[in-house]
Amino acid sequence: MEVHINEIPKLLNEDNVEILDVREINELSEEGYIEGTRHTPMSEFDVETVSLDKDKKYYIMCRAGGRSARVVEYMEHNGYDATNLEGGISAYDGEKLFK
């Protein structure tokens, strides 16, 4: 299942939802990030070491949607409720912040 990335403002207002940005650190400075999302690089992503709650709904984003789709598959395999944010940050029309 996928939800378009432009749904982020609505998703950020929902209860028991967390949005994970799995891009690498250098991508945040190049492409910006969305306030309210949690940066967890894919290169460091492991359900054993990243603090996740199986009672939450997770939406996963990256640059274009490919890496986030792989993370969603991994999370679902490990019992988490996860959805890919289609299009990634490159398709996002809202405000982006830069570090």
Distance CA 27, CA 89 (A): 10
Q: Is residue 96 part of a domain?
A: no
Residue 67 maps to a domain:
yes
Q: What is the pLDDT of residues 1-46, one digit of tens each?
A: 799 999 999 999 999 999 999 999 999 988 999 999 999 999 999 8
The total of structural domains in the chain comes to 1
Residues carrying an active site annotation: 62
- 57-72: pLDDT as tens digits: 999 999 999 999 999 9
Question: Residue 98 falls within a domain, yes or no?
Answer: no
pTM of the predicted model as reported, rounded to 2 decimal places: 0.93
Which two tokens mark 43?
A: 């290169």
Domain that holds residue 64: 2-91
pLDDT of residue 99: 56
Residue 99 belongs to some domain of the structure: no
**Largest Cα–Cα distance of the chain, in whole Å?**
33
Q: Using an 8 Å Cβ cutoff, are 17 and 57 in contact?
A: yes
Q: Which tokens belong to 74?
A: 């991994």
Rounded CA-CA distance 45/71 in Å is 8
